[in-house]
Every structure is written in C-alpha cells, then in structure tokens.
A and B are shown apart, each in its own frame.
Chain A
C-alpha cells in the first residue's frame, strides 16, 4: 500500500479529525487515525467510540488497503513540514514509511481491521441544512448546556425538527436558550439530543461554510454529511425536559437597552460582586436601569446607571452576572430586550434587531433571590 499526498492538505484534514480523539483513551487503538485507501481516494477516520468522523482525501495511488497510524506522532510530524508531497509506504516490517524532501520517517502501524467500525444508521430520516446556519444554531445554544452528570440530557443540545421549523434548545436549569429557524424545515417531526463534543467540532468546521449539511438520524444515532466529511455520533439517551413549560408566557415588565452598553456595565460592575455568587442587582424604574454589586466580605461596591426604555412596574431583581455576560455576549443585535415579571421568575432576553427572516432567539435566565 502506497500513496502520495500533499502535506498541508493532509495536515488540515487530520487536524479537524484529531479534535475527536481523547487525550487518554482506554482503548489504545483510538489513539490512531484509520487510513483506508481505495485507489485515488483516501478515507481517514478518527473516533472516540461515541463519535466517528471521517474525511475523504484525494491522493495519488492505485492501491488498496487500510492501516491505523498513531495520531499524535503523525500530527506532530506533519506540522513541521513546509508544503510538499509526501509518500506513505506500508512496509513489510509493520511500519509505515513517510518520505519527504528532507528524509524518511517510520511509524509503527496497526492493522486497519482493529479500528472500530462506525455505526451504520438503520432507517434514518434526513434533513438538509446550510452549514453556517447549523454552526450558528450550535454556537447560539451550546454555551447554555449543562455539565451535570446526574442529568445527562441537559449536557447536550436538543434538536427539534418539524415541518414548520427547526429548533435547537440548551439549558443547564439556570439559563436556557431556544434558537429556531422557520426558514429551514424537515419533512417529518423528530427530536434528539446531541452531545456537546461533536457539536463543538461541527461548529468549528462549518463556521463559514455555505455548503449543505445532510443530517440523518434515527433513535440512537445521527450522521452529519458535508463536503468530503461524515460524522456519525451516538445521541444522548433520555427525555429532554419540557422546556416550553418553563418559558413564561407573560412577562409584563419590559426593558429595552443597548446591548453593548448593558454588557459593558454588567462586566464592570460584576468585578465588584461577590466572588462566588457573581450576583448583581438590577433596579428598573422609569427610564433608568441601575446596576449594582457588592462584595460584603471585602467592602467592594459598584453602581452604574444606564438610560433605557422601561415599561412596567418598578422592580429589583438579582442575576448571576456571568450568565448575563455570556448571554449578552452571544447575541449580536444592537439592542436587547429583557422581559421580567417577579424577582423569582425567569427573565427573557431577546435580541430586538439583526435577526434573519424566520430566525428567533429566546434566552431565559433565572434570577438570584436577593436577601434584602
């Protein structure tokens, strides 16, 4: 088995795939890339058992065969090369020899058959979505997902497809983001929970891609196909919480404010907040928003006033400033609106402008109960 490939082209692909490889695998074979050669097509795969991602590369060859090559060693080597053709030759002595303009390198390989086979999806449904839209949906929601091992369903992003829209939801019970697109639809309703790791990978790959992504899914797995790449991953098993029930229907106190101003104020004031609770206090009255924080342990204190558009009863509400910062940061609009009802009820943060037709973002944040 022998093939010739461009060093930078190979590196670029391997770096993407390498994202899925765990740093400490219990199964040593997973420390490898699988190289599956079929004439001019080289299929490279990486896996962590939950997710398998593979890319098809164009190479110069007329042979067939498959080997597993240590990922770390290969990546470290490739990084050092300037662009040049590399020749990979599988030798009889259980090594793969790479020859470059500079010299020769031998790596021990394992047989390709040892590499776990990716899951075949049985009777999948399929939906097509543009790459950057999917990437946006992921990046808008994924930060809100949880890390609680006791509630694994909340550690992922909930995909909810219907014939009217695609909806993506993430929550850690303190905050919740619902992102929906009415301009993209599926042929049938479907729901599944995607784990965070493959989504983060997808987010990176698809960021500026206008290519279509085909999502195939069944009860237990989902497969994302685009360009020359395929990713198959196991879904999180379980029932996603009924998030619709916690979204308040009526939050009569509505604050509209310049997002950047609000964000900057929250950031500054939060420096003075308690180091464990990160709690800040919002006071809304008239056309003024008062943001304050206090760290009693150190006698630190800050207060800022912002002009805003506020409609509702005068109120005081406490929030964890980190949640607010994350959420405000994640939005891109000029103005945001924060709708509240009572100091112990979720506030709803939404962008006022800058949304595409059919795009909708709803962010929920639970307050911190203030002890006055």
Chain B
C-alpha cells in the first residue's frame, strides 16, 4: 500500500551536542570535560550538555541547580548564539551541495530530501555518510544521521547510533522498525500522550497498529488518523525548504520573582524591545499580542488580544501589553514574563486573494469611547 507513493529518501541530520561541541571546539580547555551551555545561576537552564556531562545525567532543559547537583564539576558556559548561527550556516551550505530540499528544524537539525540529489548518488546512506564527513572536515564537529522513507522514521533513526553515527531504515524494514518502536519514541508523543497510550495498552508500534482507526480517533481526536498512518509508514509531509513563521516571541525568567507591576512593566519594556528587534529582522508584523505570565508556582497564564491592524513597534506592543498586564490581578509573584506576536502578515497571500483580503484593507481606527 505504501507503494502507491514514490519512495522518498529522507535524511535527518542532527548535530551531536551542538552548542556544547562548538564550545569545546573553540576552547580546547573544555575538551573531555563536562560542559553545559546555559545559565549557571539560580534560575539558569541547561541549553545543551556535552557527552561528558550527559554521563552524569545532565540533560538539556534541566535546571542549572539540578545539573550542578548531578555533576559538581560541570562547567557552565554562556551561550553564544551568533557563533552557533555561523557554524549552522556553514553546515547548511554543505547540505545545499547535495540538495535544495532542506528543512531546518533548528540550528543543529534539518531534514534533507535526497531522492534526487545534486551528486546523482542513488544511495541515501552514502550521501548521509558523505555529508557527515564533510561537516567534520569543515567544522570539526560530529553529526548523526537517520535515513529512511519519511521524516518521522528518519528522525527516530538518527537517534539510534548517536553520537557520530547513522542508521538507515530501508523501505522494506520500515514497518518492522515501527512495530518494534517504543510508543514514547513516536514523534508527537510526549509525557502526557505516553501515559494515555500506556493506559490504553499501547506500548509499542505494534500495539498501536493493532488498533482500528475509529478507536484511535475516539481517543485521540484529530491526531488519531495521524497515528494510524504513521505506524504504517505513511507520512507524506514534504521537506519544506522554507517554513513560514507563525509567531514571534521573547521572554525572560527573572533571577528573583517580582510582584510589583511597576517592575514588570520595566522588564516588559526590554522584552518588547527585543520582540521589536526580532520583528525588524524577520520583516514581519502581527495582529495578536499575547502576554505570557509564569507565576512563582510555575502555573502559566496567557492573556492575549487581537488588534484590527498589524503592529511591529515597541510602543504599540507596550501599549497593548500594558492593558493586558493590568487587565487582571496577578495571582502570585511572577518568575517569567514573555511577549509573543502571532497572526503575522507573512501568511500565504495567494490564499487570501479570493475573498476580499481583510488583511490588506487598512483599518480605520475609532476613538475609544
């Protein structure tokens, strides 16, 4: 049944402990030592950990305090995103030597569709090896790769022989591979979904496959069909070279919880300035402004409002953020504030051409009575 579609060759390339490896590369003193990139302060979070650190159980997204508990020798390094970006660009250049169908997921991860590649190499496995060699040669960094017929399997596969390895799941093995896969490895299955699946007696791909689509849709709603297909090796999601941004945000965690709105406003000014900077860089503006508030008890609250027009400046952002901030009382002191802007004006214009494009009509504003 999968034969109905032309078999594609997708490679998922994932840099090994990217940020940490870059730091070790640039600073040889760090080589062979447990390194964590991120803030080491009270509220710092580990963005990336070197393999030496991972042995101690240090993981990315772990709090700095916990990481230090697990590995007292851990060396914290401040992230240097500009440098990572620079290396990422170099790596992308290598990708483009093989194919233009590159979909970046983040600075250190990307999907490549090499069904037809510029080198004319029919073996995706060899292409992947080639790419990894080139990355090592150019940047001195290790990359892992997963090769298969769709993005999902390729991504799962890239984890198998990590670090500095690769895994090919050929078309004839895809079904078997998926059947044997622990359900928690499925893309889109997080902690909550895993619990739910386990409760329903779904532990592996095989269990998932045994369930009829109706059953899945009943329990998982719209995602049901996705799971039904994915476990059968059906995923037609294309490798999209450009993704349109859906939202843009900036946020800050404070070293001390704040409870006064005055101080919050002060911080929000900075955050708004950052959002403005990012908006300028991406050349977008947005209509929906969301204020994100994380209280000291870690509960999250968002307040948002959609304007009839697009905003892109700090002043306009702040004007609305201020309203959102004062709209309601703060339940607790606040540990994190963030501003996000969505409903951006970079959406596919072709879609909106048919009905009168509401977005392009400039909006007459009203006095606020």
A residues near B, CB below 8 A? 171, 173-174, 176, 241-243, 245-246, 276-277, 279, 296, 318, 320, 342, 344, 346, 364, 366-372
Given contacts A342-B315, A342-B316, A344-B309, contact A368 B359 (CB under 8 A): no
Instruction: Judge if B308 is at the interface, Cβ distance under 8 Å.
Output: yes
Instruction: Judge if B192 is at the interface, Cβ distance under 8 Å.
Output: no
Instruction: Judge if B361 is at the interface, Cβ distance under 8 Å.
Output: yes
Contact B360 A371 (CB under 8 A): yes
**Residues on the A chain within 8 Å of B316, using CB:** 342, 344
Q: State A174–B364 Cα separation when bound (angstroms).
A: 8
Q: State A364–B76 Cα separation when bound (angstroms).
A: 57
Contact A242 B369 (CB under 8 A): yes
Contacts beyond the supplied A174-B366, A346-B367, A368-B365: 13 A-B pairs with Cβ under 8 Å: A173-B369, A174-B365, A241-B369, A318-B362, A364-B367, A366-B367, A367-B365, A368-B364, A369-B308, A369-B362, A369-B363, A371-B310, A371-B359
Given contacts A371-B345, A371-B359, contact A246 B364 (CB under 8 A): no
Given contacts A371-B309, A371-B345, contact A277 B362 (CB under 8 A): yes
**Residues on the A chain within 8 Å of B310, using CB:** 369, 371
Contact A174 B363 (CB under 8 A): no
Give the distance to chain A from B305, nearest Cβ to Cβ, in Å.
14
B residues near A, CB below 8 A? 285, 308-310, 315-316, 345, 359-369
Contact B362 A366 (CB under 8 A): no
**Residues on the B chain within 8 Å of A366, using CB:** 364-367
**Residues on the B chain within 8 Å of A371, using CB:** 285, 309-310, 345, 359-360, 362
Give the distance to chain B from A132, nearest Cβ to Cβ, in Å.
30
The 6 closest A-B pairs by CB, nearest first: A369-B309, A241-B369, A366-B365, A173-B366, A246-B367, A369-B363
Give the distance to chain A from B224, nearest Cβ to Cβ, in Å.
39
Contact B362 A368 (CB under 8 A): yes
Contact B361 A277 (CB under 8 A): yes
Interface-centre pick from A241, A242, A279, A344 (highest chain B CB count, 10 A): A344
**Residues on the B chain within 8 Å of A318, using CB:** 362
Interface residue SS majority, chain A: loop
How many A-B residue contacts, CB cutoff 8 Å?
56
Contact A246 B365 (CB under 8 A): no
Contact B345 A277 (CB under 8 A): no
Q: Which of B285, B360, B365 contacts A344 (CB 8 A)?
A: B365
Give the distance to chain B from A156, nearest Cβ to Cβ, in Å.
14
**Residues on the B chain within 8 Å of A370, using CB:** 362
Contact A246 B368 (CB under 8 A): yes
**Residues on the B chain within 8 Å of A320, using CB:** 364
**Residues on the B chain within 8 Å of A368, using CB:** 362-365
Q: State A277–B356 Cα separation when bound (angstroms).
A: 13
Q: State A371–B308 Cα separation when bound (angstroms).
A: 11
Given contacts A344-B309, A369-B308, contact A246 B363 (CB under 8 A): no
Q: State A368–B316 Cα separation when bound (angstroms).
A: 15
Give the distance to chain B from A212, nearest Cβ to Cβ, in Å.
34
Q: State A243–B369 Cα separation when bound (angstroms).
A: 7
- A175: nearest residue on chain B (CB-CB)? B367
**Residues on the A chain within 8 Å of B363, using CB:** 368-369
Contact A173 B367 (CB under 8 A): yes
Q: State A252–B366 Cα separation when bound (angstroms).
A: 21
Give the distance to chain A from B351, nearest Cβ to Cβ, in Å.
17
Q: State A246–B368 Cα separation when bound (angstroms).
A: 6
**Residues on the A chain within 8 Å of B361, using CB:** 276-277
Contact A246 B315 (CB under 8 A): no
Contact B367 A277 (CB under 8 A): no
**Residues on the A chain within 8 Å of B345, using CB:** 371
Contact A279 B362 (CB under 8 A): yes
**Residues on the A chain within 8 Å of B365, using CB:** 174, 344, 366-369
Q: State A279–B316 Cα separation when bound (angstroms).
A: 21
Q: State A251–B310 Cα separation when bound (angstroms).
A: 22
- B361: nearest residue on chain A (CB-CB)? A277
Q: State A249–B345 Cα separation when bound (angstroms).
A: 32
- A369: nearest residue on chain B (CB-CB)? B309
Give the distance to chain A from B272, nearest Cβ to Cβ, in Å.
14
Q: State A328–B369 Cα separation when bound (angstroms).
A: 24
Q: State A370–B361 Cα separation when bound (angstroms).
A: 9
Q: State A318–B364 Cα separation when bound (angstroms).
A: 9
Give the distance to chain A from B356, nearest Cβ to Cβ, in Å.
9
Contact A174 B369 (CB under 8 A): no
Q: State A241–B369 Cα separation when bound (angstroms).
A: 6
**Residues on the A chain within 8 Å of B359, using CB:** 371
**Residues on the A chain within 8 Å of B364, using CB:** 174, 277, 320, 366, 368
Q: State A122–B328 Cα separation when bound (angstroms).
A: 47
Give the distance to chain B from A277, nearest Cβ to Cβ, in Å.
6
- A345: nearest residue on chain B (CB-CB)? B365
- A278: nearest residue on chain B (CB-CB)? B364
Give the distance to chain B from A169, nearest Cβ to Cβ, in Å.
12
Q: State A96–B309 Cα separation when bound (angstroms).
A: 65
- A370: nearest residue on chain B (CB-CB)? B362
Give the distance to chain B from A339, nearest Cβ to Cβ, in Å.
16
- B310: nearest residue on chain A (CB-CB)? A371
Q: State A371–B346 Cα separation when bound (angstroms).
A: 12
Q: State A174–B369 Cα separation when bound (angstroms).
A: 11
Q: State A364–B368 Cα separation when bound (angstroms).
A: 12
Q: State A243–B368 Cα separation when bound (angstroms).
A: 9
- A176: nearest residue on chain B (CB-CB)? B367
Contact B367 A174 (CB under 8 A): yes
- A151: nearest residue on chain B (CB-CB)? B369
Q: State A369–B316 Cα separation when bound (angstroms).
A: 12
